[in-house]
Structure 1
Amino acid sequence: MANELNNRFNNLMRGSDEFFSNLGRSFFNGLDDFKQMKTDVTEKDTSYVVAVDLPGVDKKDIAIDFKDNELIISAKRDSFSDESDSEGNILSSERNYGEFSRQYSFPNVDETKINAKYENGVLIVTLPKTADEISNKHHIEID
């Protein structure tokens, strides 16, 4: 026991104590992950596809709007159940809740044909391109 405490003290003095080196990291990293809405955006010949990770969000708590070439996705996650012991102690908590949104810009989208599906915590929004956008594209060969 004394050796273990001595090692912990030495690690603390060297700045390599795990407790202090990770202090706050999980809170701030988790907050960033939650608030940033991790997204993949793909452009295909006839559409754009946006895939957004929204783990733990109910479908009813997601709003999708498209206005002035801007796709706006908003979501909220309600508070989670308390997993502490009878004395209110929690050893680690990395789950977040609250409201957040993100905007994406897409030119020449046929607004009437946008569709979305939500499955297993992933929102997929497909934004079909207008006929003008599709016909205006052409491949240019390099000499």
Structure 2
Amino acid sequence: MANELNNRFNELMKGGDDFFSNLGRSFFNGFDDSFKEMKTDISESDTAYTVAVDLPGVDKKDIDIDFKDHALTISAKRDSFSDESDAKGNLLSSERSYGRFTRQYQFPNVDKDKISAKYEAGVLTVTLPKTAEEISNSHKIEIE
């Protein structure tokens, strides 16, 4: 009996117990980093950068795009959903997420006045044309 209790205690300390290994998992799943919700492909050509972001289930009016100090910021909001998966309305499993998501990308040499965006079939595509010359926000200071 003492050996069995000792083994059980050791399993608990190693995290081998199913109860403790799953404790809080569903609660903390809601705090995943938002970048996980905004799967992105970024490509570059000689003339532009293209950012394609998967935003399924997001309404176009709930997407904000901003470009400032070489940073493209995309924010989106996905409303909660209802799923009548059984007669009582109990949700048996949930993997879809909702809430506000933000992601930021850094791009040099962008002509901010010519940035364009389109949203089609759950995919946001932002095109950032490059400038002919590099625009620098830095200034070298000589030491006397």
Whether TM exceeds 0.5 here: the answer is yes
Q: Show CA shifts across 1:44-70 (max 9, x none).
A: 100000000001000000000000000
| Inter-CA distance 66–119: structure 2 relative to 1 (3 Å threshold) | same
CA positional deviation for 1:34: 7.1
Alignment of 1:71-86 (within 5 A): 71-86=72-87
Of residues 48-57 and 33-42 in structure 1, the stretch that sits farther from structure 2 once superposed is 33-42
TM-score, normalisation: structure 2: 0.68
Could you say which residue in structure 1 is the equivalent of 2:55?
Answer: 54
1:128 aligns to 2:129 (yes or no)? yes
Give the Cα separation in 1 of the matches to 2:116 and 2:99: 25
TM-score, normalisation: structure 1: 0.68
Give the Cα separation in 1 of the matches to 2:113 and 2:100: 27
8 Å CA contact 2:38–2:53 kept in 1: the answer is: yes
Q: Show CA shifts across 1:92-142 (max 9, x none).
A: 121111001000000010000000000000000000000115xxxxxxxxx
8 Å CA contact 1:70–1:104 kept in 2: the answer is: yes
What is the CA RMSD across the aligned residues, in angstroms?
2.5
Could you say which residue in structure 1 is the equivalent of 2:71?
Answer: 70
Counterpart residue type for residue 124 of structure 2: L
8 Å CA contact 1:35–1:100 kept in 2: the answer is: no
Structure 2, gaps ≥5 residues long: 1-15, 135-144
Give the Cα separation in 2 of the matches to 1:111 and 1:39: 20
Alignment of 1:111-126 (within 5 A): 111-126=112-127
Structure 1, gaps ≥5 residues long: 1-14, 134-143
Could you say which residue in structure 1 is the equivalent of 2:140?
Answer: none
Identity in percent: 72
Number of residues of Structure 1 aligned to a counterpart in Structure 2: 113
CA positional deviation for 1:89: 2.2
8 Å CA contact 1:69–1:109 kept in 2: the answer is: yes
Could you say which residue in structure 2 is the equivalent of 1:41?
Answer: 42
Could you say which residue in structure 1 is the equivalent of 2:138?
Answer: none
Give the Cα separation in 1 of the matches to 2:33 and 2:133: 38
8 Å CA contact 1:69–1:107 kept in 2: the answer is: yes
